[in-house]
Every structure is written in C-alpha cells, then in structure tokens.
Amino acid sequence: MSVTRRRTLRAIATTQFMLLPLGTLGQELRSDPAVPWAAAPMAATHPDPRIRALSWAVLAPNPHNRQPWIAELPAAAPDTVVLRCDLDRRLPVTDRFDRQITIGLGAFVELFRMAAAAQGFGLEMTPFPEGEPQPRLDGRPVARLRLVPGGFADPLFAQASTRRSVKRPFAMDRPVPEAALAALAAAVMPPSQFGGTVDQARVAALRDLAWRAWQIEATTPAAHQESVALMRLGRDAVAAQPDGISLYGPGLEEAVAAGQLTQAAMLPGRPGYDMMVQRYRAMLAATPAFLWTTTPGNGRTEQLQAGRDWLRLNLAATAAGLCLHPVSQALQEYPEMDGPYRQAQAELGAGGVVQMLARLGYGPAVLPTPRWPAASRIRAA
C-alpha cells in the first residue's frame, strides 16, 4: 500500500470516529483537502446515523465555499442535529442580509436528508425553531433536524459524490436539449419555481447581464476585496484552510512559489487581476444555457428552501451529464449592484424573488472543491 493511500485512510478514519473541537484538526487531515469526499461513503460504518449523514452534508454547495455550518449534537436528543450558522463565515459585503449563506445552509439540510434517507431514516425538519432572524442571521438555530424511521431513498443521492461546480467554459458546439430543462424542473419542490432557457437570444442577454454584474463586483473595492481575502493560493494554503476560493494545481504552484501569484496580484491594475478578468469573460461567453429559481417571497424559510432546491438541481444536472456554475452576482443586494439586481428580478422573477442564477452546459471533468472534514464542523451540545 502506498504512503499516500495509508495517509488517506488514516485521515478518513480520524474523520469518522473523532469529534474534534470546532476549527481544530490533526496534521493528517490537513494533508489532503479532498479527503472529505472520500470519507463520506466510508462513514457508513460509524455507529451514529447523524454522523453518517453529516459526512455527506458537508459536501453541499455553498457561496464562496464558506462552509458556514455548525452541527450540534445534543446529548439529550440522540436523534437530533441542531444546525447553526458559523457567523464568522458570512459575506458581509456581497451578502449583507445573509441570503446566500442561508441558501448554502439549505443545501446542507437537503443533502443531510438524502443521506439519512439512504439509511432508512425520515427527517423532521423545523426551520428557525426560535424565530427567523432579520436583517442578518444570529446565534439562533437555522434548523432542527430530527431523524425518524421510514425514509425512502432519493435517486438523486446517487450523484452526491460526483457533483461539481464547474467554473470552466462549456461546449458551445453541444446545445443543451429542451428535454434536459424539463428534467431539471422536476427536481425543484413547490412552491419554488424553476426557470431556464436555451433560446440563444435570451441566453445572450443573460450572458450580458451576468458579465456586467461580475464587472461591478470586480470593480467595487469592498466587494472585490471580500473575494481576494478568501483566496487560498497554492496547495499548502488550500490544505491548511480548505474553504474560500481555492487556486492550486499545475502551473499555479510554480507561480505561488515564485511570488507571482499573491493576493496583492489579484487587485486592479495587477497581472493576476487582468488574468482573472480575461478568464471570466471567456468562461461566460462559453455558456449555451441558463437556469434560475424563484420563491414566492424572501423569508428565511423560503431562502432555506431555495438552498434545498439548488442542491437538488445540482444533482439532477449531474445525473443528466450536465454542469452547473452559479453566477448570482446580479442577485446580490448591495448598492452598486442595484441596476443588475432590479433587471434580474424584473426579467426572471415572474412576481416572485429570484434566488439563484446559473450557467448550464456540457463541461470538462474537474476536481472536487476542498472541504473541511465533517468532524471539524460538529460540536457537542
């Protein structure tokens, strides 16, 4: 057995059987930021069904990969998880009302539900049991999750280990069929609504909207700096802190080692910034279809439901061989984004509130996004 294989198995074992204090990890777990993706299916041997489900839930998509979840395991309720938001992992500039963070927490809830159902458990989910916090999230629970007998496996769960957010150009010579949109629409749960288009005139208009919104974020100093501060540059940085925006791999490692790829280099007027602009422009141009979701209103429970829908859409797209990439800059609620925000809501909202906007198409295979191990996001209560 190779040294790498032995190290991975030891890390997986540690993830499964230890409840570490929040934010602390052994050096073994830091060695490979993709370990949690391998750990999830292997957690099936853990005696606590909550841990088994949580090992999957931490793989849920979430804004800027902040992984904002804290899962409390009450000693007095061995069938229950109390989900809270890690308030230090919010995005106060671009997500100043914590709408996107709440959506990420909703994706966590849905993947937890699916993983529990695969074990034969149902889920009683009570959203915001101590009230909906406004205008931002606070220390109150986001949801109480209680396992009960009688769950039924969800076929979408089969895609959980291969789901990816593909931030790459999509194939423009391979149109997305209309039938694929209908299949994706079936993954969204009422009262949420699905929208999508492969009409090239409308797709071009949405590409323009997404590009203008991205430019606003990239040229608004506080908004851009929020992203730059979360960039993990090089494999060592990613392994030490596997959240945020990960930039590592062949070519990038050499640039980091030479001091060419730094956070300072990603600021306007610097080479890294110009490279980022060119990359994003090309990526958006290679978008053959868009999809979006709406909810009737914008309450916290509806935002949580939008996250559950987003997780299901990701899995349904994976099952169809399609790739998703969220481009929700136009949905962000800070003053500089007001124009694109109003346009997106007017053109896509249909009387509701647009919660997610994404590119859709056929793209390349990509590596899984780094994750903190499940054990690091769990605490006793």
Q: What is the pLDDT of residue 87?
A: 98
d(CA 91, CA 62) in angstroms, rounded, equals: 12
The pLDDT of residue 231: 96
Q: Is the pLDDT of residue 27 over 70?
A: no
Topology agreement, domain 3-162+368-380 and domain 178-215+284-361:
yes
* Topology given in CATH for the domain delimited by 178-215+284-361: NADH Oxidase (3.40.109)
189: confidence class by pLDDT, cuts 50, 70, 90: very high
Domain residue spans of the chain: 3-162+368-380, 178-215+284-361, 224-279
Q: Largest Cα–Cα distance of the chain, in whole Å?
A: 59
pLDDT band at 21 (very low <50, low <70, confident <90, very high): very low
Task: Round to whole Å and give the CA distance between 20 and 41.
Answer: 20
pLDDT at 128: 98
Pick the CATH number of 3-162+368-380 from 3.40.1130, 1.10.3470, 3.30.420, 3.40.109: 3.40.109
Task: Please determine, for residue 243, whether its predicted confidence score (pLDDT) is greater than 80.
Answer: yes
CA distances from 13 to 10, 263, 357 (A): 5, 35, 38
Mean pLDDT for the chain? 92
pLDDT of residue 31: 55
Share of the chain above pLDDT 70, in %: 92
